[in-house]
Amino acid sequence: MTFVLIKTIHLFAAFIYGGFLIVDNLFLVHIKESYSADEHKSIRESFMKYVRNVVPPSLLVAVITGLYLISQVFGPISEAGMNSFQLMLALKAFLGIWLGLRGFMQVYLGIQPFVFKSHVLPFTFVLTIIFLSQFMYL
């Protein structure tokens, strides 16, 4: 029962974070085409005011619950090495931890990324995590 509850929390938190990245990368970037620079800045800041309250904590919850879930399903590594499930799960964990560290340092420590300042790379990582989650059980 604990596993199912934590997995549900993990999915909701991941949906919130991934949903923000989808909206930001697919929709909000096009606002600047329809509005002046000042209007675009005002619209984006209005949106981000609410995002900053919800998305960073959701990302941290997704990473923490993801680490718990991995500890429950990863299993032992055989003498032949990791199987395909473990390899994909390890890649998902690496990408998730990278996203979590980047988000934590940016939001809570005020450390801005030196490279990849846009949300395109995190969006790509989230899409990769989604695809890996679909193929890792095959």
Residue 2 has pLDDT above 90, yes or no: yes
This prediction has a pTM of 0.86
Q: Which tokens in the block code for residue 62?
A: 């997704």
Average pLDDT of span 103-125: 84
Residue 41 has pLDDT above 90, yes or no: no
Strand partners, 81: 78
Average pLDDT of span 126-130: 94
Q: Average pLDDT of the chain?
A: 90
Residue 103 CB neighbour total at 10 angstroms: 20
Q: Please tell me the predicted confidence (pLDDT) of residue 137.
A: 83
User: Domain locations in the chain?
Assistant: 2-135
Distance of alpha carbon 74 from alpha carbon 80, whole angstroms: 15
Distance of alpha carbon 138 from alpha carbon 135, whole angstroms: 6
